[in-house]
A and B are shown apart, each in its own frame.
Chain A
Amino acid sequence: MKKKNNILKKLANKAYEFGFVSKIKTDIIESGLSEDTIRLISRKKNEPEWMLEFRLTAYRHWLTMEMPQWAHLDIPPIDYQAISYYADPLKKNKENKNKEIDPELMKTFEKLGIPLEERLALSGTAVDAVMDSVSVKTTFKEELKEKGIIFSSMGEAIQEHPELVRKYLGTVVNYRDNFFAALNTAVFSDGSFVYIPKGVRCPRELSTYFRINAANTGQFERTLIIADDNSYVSYLEGCTAPMRDENQLHAAIVEIVVNENAEVKYSTVQNWYPGDAEGKGGVYNFVTKRGDCRGNNSKLSWTQVETGSAITWKYPSCILRGDNSQGEFYSVALTNNYQQADTGTKMIHLGKNTKSTIISKGISAGKSQNSYRGLVRVSKNADNARNYSQCDSLLLGDKCGAHTFPYMDIHNNSAIVEHEATTSKISEDQLFYCNQRGIGTEEAIGLIVNGYAREVLNKLPMEFAVEAQKLLSVSLEGAVG
C-alpha cells in the first residue's frame, strides 16, 4: 500500500505540462456583461451593423434564460459579471494599422509544439492559432486560397466574406438553442472559418489551436466549417490553458455544414487545465458542436479525446438531413481527481437510409464523475435508418463514478437501432500480471487504457493519435490507489 500512496502523491504533485503563463501585453476589457460590453467587442472587431444586431438579439434572449440543470454535473454558480469577455494579446502598431505579433506569443505557441512558421509546420498541417479572444496567425492561407479554400479567423471572415458568414452563421446552432449558445452568440470572439468549395479535396489537415492565457477572462470561440458539394476536409482542434486557482469559462460553438457528397472529419484533443488534485481551479468547458449533413450522401465524423477541463458539457451532434447521409461519433473521455464530464452526442435521422455510429469510451479515475449522454432520434420520414451505439465505461478505483444516459426516440418502424454498454475495471490481477512481466504499474495502466481506447484513437490522424496516447497515460499517472 505504501508504494501506491507514493504513486498517488506523485500524481498530485505532477505539474500540468501546459500550465505556464506567458507574459504578453494584453488588451483586456473590464469585466462585466451588458449591451455596452457587446457593443465594445463589436467595435473592437470593427464589425458591420448586422453582426452587432445578431449579437444583441442573442444577448437579449440569453437574459431570459436559465442555466441548464439536467446534466449529471455539480456546477458551482458562475458570476457572469466577474468575467472579462475580451482579451487581445496582439499589440497595435501605431504607424501602420497592422497588428504585430509579440515574439513572446510566437514563443508560447512554439512551447506548445505549434510552430507558426510555415517552414516548421508539422507534417503539412495548416494552423489557425487563437489566444484568448483573438486569432494570432493562420498559416498556409495563401496556398489554400489558390484552390479556393478559405481558412481564416472568424473575425477576418466577417470582414472579407460577409456574404458567406451571413448565409451560414447560426443556421446549425441557433442562439435560442441553449443557454451557452445564446451567451456565445452574444460575446463570441475568435475561432476559425473554413470554406471548402465544390469538388475540392483539402490538401492539408486544417487545425485550430486554442490557448487561454489571460486571467479572469472567458474564451468564447466560434467556428464555422462549410464543405460544399463533393468536397472533403479533415479538421483538428487542440486546446490548453495555464494552471490557475480560479475557474475559467470556455463556451464555444462549432457549426458544420456538409453539402451533397461532401465529407468532414472533425477531431478534437481537449486538454484544458483540469484543476489540481484537490479540485481547485480548472476550465469549465460548455460547448455546443453540431453538424448539419444537408446534402444527400454527406458524411460527418466527430472524434474527440477529452482529458482536460474541470467540467465538460459537450455533445457533438449530427443532423442527418440528406438521404444516405452518415454521422459518426468516436469519443474517449477521461476524468481524474475531481473532474466531471457529461458528454455524448445526438444523432438526428431525418433523411432516408441514414446511418449513424456512436462509440463512446469513458474512463473514470480518482473521485471523478463521467457520464455518457446520447440521443438517437429517428423521425417519421427517415426510412431505413440505422444506428449502432456502443458505450463502454472503465473504472479505476472505487471512488469514481461512470454513468450512461442513452435516449432513443424512434418514430419510424423500419429503423434498426442497437445499443450496447459495458462497464469494466482494471483489476489488481491484471496489474500484477503486467508487473510480473516487468511492466511497472503506471506503464501498465497506460497500456491497458490505450488498449481500451484504441478503437477511437485509430480514428485520429497519425500525429494526433500519438499525442493522444501520451496524454491518456500522463493524465492517469498514479490513478489507481
Chain B
Amino acid sequence: MENLLEIKNLHATIDGKEILKGINLTIKAGEVHAIMGPNGSGKSTLSNVLVGHPAYTVTEGEIIYKGKNLLELSPEDRSHEGLFLSFQYPVEIPGVSITNFMRAAINAKREYLKQEPMSASDFLKLMREKRSFVNLDSKLANRSVNEGFSGGEKKRNEIFQMAMLEPTLSILDETDSGLDIDALRIVAEGVNKLKRPDTSSIVITHYQRLLDYIKPDIVHVLYNGRIVKTSGPELVQELEERGYDWIKNENQ
C-alpha cells in the first residue's frame, strides 16, 4: 500500500511556544488511525498544522501528502487536495446558509480541478443525498452555518460537509466532545458509511467511546508533543483501564 501521509520529525510552535517536538507518523491509504492522549499533549495542534492554520508555525520537519510537500500548499489547496478537518469547535457564520456555503466550497474545488461549476440541480440533489448520511434536517440546511446549532447539530453538520467534499484524508478532532450517545452513534455511522478503500482517517480523541463505533487500525498515544506509543486497537482498552498516568510516568 502506498503512503498517503508521511510526517517526519515535525516541530511546531504557537506564539513562540513549542508544542510539537518531533512527530513521526505514516498513514497508508485505507487506514484509520486513532490519536489519543491527555489534554495539552498537542493533539489539536497536530490537526491544525496539517490543515495549515496560520496561528501555528512549523519550525522543523516535513509533511509529505500524496507525494507533495504539504507545507507549501495554502489551506484552501490542502482542502482541494482532499484534506478535511472536522473541527472540535465549529464556528458560526451568521447570514451564510449552509447551502450557499457548500456551493462555494464545492465550486472552489471544481475550479481547482479545472472542472465546470456544478449545476444548481445537481448540487441540490447531492445535498439531499448527503444529508441523509447524518440525518441532517432540510430546515437546518437553509439556516446559517452553525448559527444557533446545538453541539450535536454542529458535529453532524461537520460530517455532512465531509460527505459533500469526499475527502481523501479526514481528521476528526474530538468529534465526540459534547455529544450524547445517540448523536455520537449518528456521527460515527456517518463516518463509517463514508469509508472507502482509498480514503484514510485520523481520529483524535481523549476517550475510548468514539472508538467503539469507529474502529481504528492503529492507535497512537501523543504525549508532550511526541508520539510515545503506537500499537493495535487493543491499546484503546488498556488506556481506558489504566488511564494516562502510566504513559506519563514512563515518559518522565
Contact = CB atoms under 8 A, between A and B. Distances in A.
A440 B73 CA distance: 13
B91 A452 contact: no
A92 to B, nearest CB: 51
Nearest to A443: B104
Contacts of A79: none
Contacts of B108: 438-440, 443
A451 B95 contact: yes
B180 to A, nearest CB: 24
B149 interface: no
B79 interface: yes
A451 B93 contact: yes
Nearest to B86: A436
Contacts of A424: 94
B95 A438 contact: no
B91 A429 contact: yes
Interface in B63-108: 74-76, 78-80, 84-85, 87, 90-97, 100-102, 104-105, 108
A205 B84 CA distance: 47
Contacts of B94: 424, 451-452
Contacts of A435: 52, 74-76, 79
Size range of the chain A interface in the assembly: 20 to 34
Given A430-B91, A430-B93, A438 B80 contact: yes
Interface string A407-440: 0000000000000000010011110111111111
Contacts of B165: 437-438
Interface string B203-226: 000000000000000000000000
Contacts of A215: none
A142 to B, nearest CB: 39
A454 interface: yes
A451 B104 contact: no
Contact of A438 (B79, B92, B144): B79
A436 B74 contact: no
Contacts of A3: 74
Determine which residue in A427, A435, A436 has the highest number of CB atoms from chain B within 10 A of its CB, and name it: A436
Contacts, number: 76
A51 interface: no
A438 B96 contact: no
Contacts of A439: 76, 101, 104-105, 108
Contact of B75 (A436, A451, A452): A436
Interface in B119-148: 144
Contacts of A12: none
B105 A451 contact: no
Determine which residue in B51, B105, B112, B165 has the highest number of CB atoms from chain A within 10 A of its CB, and name it: B105
Interface in B205-249: none
B161 interface: yes
A199 to B, nearest CB: 40
A438 B54 contact: no
Interface string A43-71: 00000000000000000000000000000
A440 B87 CA distance: 18
A474 interface: no
A430 B52 CA distance: 14
A182 B60 CA distance: 69
Contacts of A450: 95-96
Contacts of A28: none
B51 A436 contact: yes
B80 A447 contact: no
A56 to B, nearest CB: 51
B109 interface: yes
Nearest to B89: A429
B145 to A, nearest CB: 8
B90 A438 contact: no
B53 interface: yes
Given A427-B91, A451-B93, A452-B94, A432 B54 contact: yes
A438 B112 contact: yes
B91 A436 contact: no
B185 to A, nearest CB: 25
A438 B87 contact: no
A73 interface: no
Contacts of B84: 436
Contacts of B92: 430
Contacts of B75: 432, 435-436
Contact of A433 (B87, B104, B109): B87
Contacts of A448: 93, 95-96
Given A430-B93, A451-B94, A451-B144, A440 B76 contact: yes
What 10 pairs across the A-B complex have the smallest Cβ distances? A451-B95, A438-B79, A451-B96, A435-B75, A437-B105, A438-B108, A452-B95, A429-B91, A433-B91, A438-B109
Interface of A: 3, 424, 427-430, 432-440, 443, 447-448, 450-454
Interface of B: 51-55, 74-76, 78-80, 84-85, 87, 90-97, 100-102, 104-105, 108-109, 112, 144, 161, 165
27 contacts: A427-B91, A428-B55, A433-B91, A435-B74, A435-B76, A436-B51, A436-B75, A436-B79, A436-B84, A437-B101, A437-B161, A438-B79, A438-B105, A438-B108, A439-B101, A439-B105, A439-B108, A440-B76, A447-B93, A447-B100, A447-B101, A448-B95, A451-B93, A451-B94, A451-B96, A451-B144, A452-B94
Given A432-B53, A438-B109, 6 more contacts: A430-B91, A434-B104, A436-B84, A437-B102, A440-B108, A447-B104
